[in-house]
Amino acid sequence: MDTHEIVDQAALDRLVEWGGHKLLREMLRLFLENSRVRLDAMRDALDAGGDLDEVHRGAHSLKSSAANLGAMRVSALAGRLEEVAEAGDHDQSAGLFGELAAAYGAAEVRLQTVLEEVEA
């Protein structure tokens, strides 16, 4: 997958336009710090037998924050997971979580690279 498909550069450019590289840096830092915590909490909830409320909350939060940074596949998968968790389907939630974690991994690498570039 091309890095342009992983993260939409136009979303990053909008953040720079709105608040300069300072805003972009802060948004990237917050996302990279907080999203890993959210993913870990969702994984723990699923592994523990399914606190789907925790999965729903984490997916909802990740959906919007990923979209703000142009990680649209992550956002879309988080949106689907949010819906499935809200419906109470543990098995489908666990399957979607696997897809989400993989998509997040790719986006995390790209966003970390962007952060390193704007911090240089």
- The torsion region of residue 8 among left (phi > 0), alpha (psi -120 to 50) and beta comes to beta
Altogether, the residues listed in the chain come to a count of 120
Q: Does position 1 have pLDDT exceeding 90, yes or no? A: no
Q: Does position 94 have pLDDT exceeding 90, yes or no? A: yes
Q: Does position 3 have pLDDT exceeding 90, yes or no? A: no
Label residue 19 by pLDDT band (50, 70, 90).
very high
Label residue 51 by pLDDT band (50, 70, 90).
confident
**CATH code that applies to domain 3-119:** 1.20.120.160
Output the pLDDT for position 2: 46
Domain boundaries, the chain: 3-119
Label residue 98 by pLDDT band (50, 70, 90).
very high
Output the pLDDT for position 105: 96
Q: Does position 111 have pLDDT exceeding 90, yes or no? A: yes
DSSP notation for 33-92: HHHHHHHHHHHHHHHTT--HHHHHHHHHHHHHHHHHTT-HHHHHHHHHHHHHHHHT-HHH
Label residue 120 by pLDDT band (50, 70, 90).
confident
For 69-80, write each residue's pLDDT tens digit: 999 999 999 999
